């Protein structure tokens, strides 16, 4: 029996293997680090992510490669999203460096190791071609994030947020597993591409399959944080340390986009009529409730949480409009617009939370809207960077957020969903109010404190580069748009 065993190729999974190995090494090395700043741990963490990026580039292939008996896939979409995840995590850790140094209750070494393990979970999710692989990656990421939210042991609000996140996350995982089991019962396969082929070739029990899709979409909706599965988002964003909020708000969104594409597009595209209606409801509710409730917030982290809910709803529009009435002519355009939207949202979110953490200092969280009053008088440059972020999120020309929204809207109009495009535009106008309110506070109100913004030079340079990238990509979005379209074209055909 052992003679039939064929060793899987480890080549496509080289970045994940390297990351796991280095996370274990850093965990052991950190035990011997005496410095409270954990500089060695931080440097090794960043070098590990750079090494992963180098390996991903070296092993990149324009062809779709499967390994581990079809459970793991390496394609252009996976490679591009992984590179973006490395960049987002590296930037998040740079922004977090001074923040966690000022807070003695947050263990530094564990913070970096948990960040690496969460990143490993994201990579596995991005390359999953099997329900079990997908669940393994999802739980690895989720369990690491639960622990990161609760890292500040002296904060009752952080502990409460972690408990809410853990309990609701366990419920969502159960929904996802139940949906997967029903799809397995209907198709007889756990391999995502095999499920797609069987649905195309054979007749299956539709009632079991549709129930499975409902549970699957509910689980995905929780991971995306869209209405009505959004309850955890504002509490976790608000309760977690700001550095952890930044981490949760950025890179996991890329992994969530990947599993939506793998499950709904690669596996269940023949059942598009069944899940499109659900996604339309989730999208409209998320844009409506997210934007309307954000207006009432006085805490900027909660405001950005509801903003994230509305943005994920907007992104779902691109997934919805890929196939219309069995016609897939607009699929590539729609899916690439959704991918472009997620990528630009992550970039903008990194800049926004980077600026929030620059305003914080030891013993003080700069997370209330009033903390941004008169920022222009304290630092005109960083007030301008925050303005770029807010205008981009609002979809004001000519920032990258405008082109992200425009690309999704043109996909919606091309698919014939005119009412959906009108609803999206109206909700975006509502959202513009609370983004422009932040700009008004920075430029037209008197500052609460007069002291200039302190912080290491390299953090100021990174935040400035991040903010300028939001503006520059708004002027020259073609390269990133083309890159997303090319990656999807090579992966979905």
Q: For 445-493, what is each residue's pLDDT tens digit?
A: 888 777 777 778 888 899 999 999 999 999 999 999 999 999 998 887 5
pLDDT > 90 in the chain, percent: 62
Q: What is the pLDDT of residue 1?
A: 46
Q: For 310-358, what is each residue's pLDDT tens digit?
A: 999 999 999 988 777 666 677 888 999 999 999 999 999 999 999 998 8
Total count of domains within the chain: 1
Q: CA-CA distances (angstroms) from residue 385 to 98, 182, 298, 302, 355?
A: 20, 48, 21, 20, 8
Structure-token pair, residue 207 = 């009632």
What is the rounded average pLDDT of the residues 408-433? 92
Report the distance separating Cα 415 and Cα 320, nearest Å: 9
What do you get for the CA distance between the two ends of the chain, in Å?
36
Q: For 158-173, what is each residue's pLDDT tens digit?
A: 999 999 999 999 999 9
Alpha-carbon torsion, ordered 197, 198, 200, 202, to 10 deg: 150
* Confidence check: pLDDT of 232 > 80: yes
Q: Is 1 a member of any domain?
A: no
* Confidence check: pLDDT of 174 > 80: yes
Report the distance separating Cα 213 and Cα 221, nearest Å: 12
* Confidence check: pLDDT of 139 > 60: yes
Q: Is 172 a member of any domain?
A: yes
What confidence category does residue 362 fall into, taking pLDDT thresholds of 50, 70 and 90? low
Q: What is the pLDDT of residue 397?
A: 87
What is the rounded average pLDDT of the residues 36-51? 92
* Confidence check: pLDDT of 364 > 70: no
Q: Is 136 a member of any domain?
A: yes
Using an 8 Å Cβ cutoff, are 247 and 148 in contact? yes
Q: Is 3 a member of any domain?
A: no
Q: Is 2 a member of any domain?
A: no
Q: What is the pLDDT of residue 201?
A: 82
The candidate with the shortest Cα–Cα distance to 439, out of 481, 388, 399, is 388
Q: Is 84 a member of any domain?
A: yes
**Three-class SS string for the chain?**
CHHHCCCCCCHHHHHHHHHHHHHHHHHHHHHCCCCCCCHHHHHHHHHHHHHHHHHHHHHCCCCCEEECCCCEEECHHHHHHHHHHHHHHHHHHHHHHHHHHCCCCCCHHHHHHHHHHHHHHHHHHHCECEHHHHHHHHHHHHHHHHHHHCCCCCCHHHHHHHHHHHHHHHHHHHHHHHHHHHHHHHHCCCEHHHHHHHHHHCCCCHHHHHHHHHHHHHHHHHHHCCCCCCCHHHHHHHHCCHHHHHHHHCHHHHHHHHHHHHHHHHHCHHHHHHHHHHHHHHHHHHHHHHHHHHHCCCEHHHHHHHHHHHHHHHHHHHHHCCCECCECCCHHHHHHHHHHHHHHHHHHHHHHHHHHHHHCECCECCCEHHHHCCHHHHCHHHHHHHHHHHHHHHCCCCCHHHHHHHHHHHHHHHCCCHHHHHHHHHHHHHHHHHHHHHHHHHHHCCCCCCCCCCCCHHHHHHHHHHHHHHHHHHHCCHHHHHHHHHHHHHHHC
Supply the pTM of this predicted model: 0.94
Domain limits for position 412: 8-492
What is the rounded average pLDDT of the residues 73-79? 92
């Amino acid at each position: 029996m052992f003679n039939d065993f064929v060793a899987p190729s480890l080549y496509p999974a080289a970045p994940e293997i390297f990351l796991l190995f280095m996370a274990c090494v850093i965990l052991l090395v950190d035990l011997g680090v005496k410095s409270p700043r954990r500089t060695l741990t931080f440097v090794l963490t960043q070098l590990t992510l750079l090494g992963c990026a180098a390996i991903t580039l070296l092993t990149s292939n324009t062809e779709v490669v499967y390994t581990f008996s079809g459970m793991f896939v390496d394609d252009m979409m996976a490679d591009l999203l992984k590179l973006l995840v490395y960049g987002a995590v590296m930037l998040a850790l740079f922004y977090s460096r001074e923040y966690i140094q000022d807070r003695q209750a947050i263990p530094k070494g564990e913070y970096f190791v948990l960040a690496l393990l969460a990143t490993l979970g994201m990579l596995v999710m991005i390359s999953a071609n099997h329900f079990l692989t997908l669940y393994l990656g999802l739980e690895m990421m989720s369990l690491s994030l639960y622990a990161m939210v609760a890292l500040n042991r002296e904060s009752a609000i952080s502990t409460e947020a972690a408990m809410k996140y853990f309990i609701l996350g366990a419920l969502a995982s159960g929904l996802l597993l139940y949906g997967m089991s029903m799809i397995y019962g209907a198709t007889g396969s756990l391999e995502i591409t095999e499920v797609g082929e069987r649905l195309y070739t054979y007749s299956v029990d539709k009632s079991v399959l549709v129930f499975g899709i409902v549970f699957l979409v509910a689980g995905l909706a929780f991971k995306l944080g869209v209405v009505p599965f959004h309850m955890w988002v504002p509490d976790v964003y608000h309760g977690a340390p700001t550095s952890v909020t930044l981490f949760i708000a950025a890179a996991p969104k890329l992994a969530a986009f990947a599993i939506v594409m793998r499950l709904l597009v690669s596996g269940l595209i023949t059942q598009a009529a069944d899940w499109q209606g659900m996604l339309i409801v989730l999208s409209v509710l998320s844009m409506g409730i997210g934007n309307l409730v954000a207006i009432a917030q006085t805490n900027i982290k909660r405001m950005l949480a509801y903003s994230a809910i509305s943005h994920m709803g907007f992104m779902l529009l691109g997934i919805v409009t890929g196939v219309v009435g069995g016609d897939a002519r607009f699929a590539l355009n729609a899916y690439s617009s959704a991918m472009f939207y997620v990528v630009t949202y992550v970039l903008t979110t990194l800049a926004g939370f980077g600026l929030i953490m620059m305003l914080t200092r030891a013993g003080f969280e700069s997370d209330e809207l009033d903390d941004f009053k008169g920022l222009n008088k304290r630092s005109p440059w960083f007030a301008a960077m925050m303005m770029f972020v807010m205008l981009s999120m609002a979809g004001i020309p000519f920032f990258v957020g405008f082109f992200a929204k425009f690309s999704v809207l043109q996909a919606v109009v091309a698919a014939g969903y005119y009412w959906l495009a009108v609803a999206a535009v109206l909700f975006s106008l509502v959202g513009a109010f609370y983004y422009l309110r932040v700009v008004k506070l920075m430029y037209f109100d008197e500052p609460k404190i007069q002291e200039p913004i302190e912080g290491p030079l390299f953090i100021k340079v990174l935040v400035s580069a991040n903010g300028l990238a939001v503006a520059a990509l708004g002027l020259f979005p073609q390269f990133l748009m083309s890159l997303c379209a090319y990656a999807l074209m090579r992966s979905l055909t």
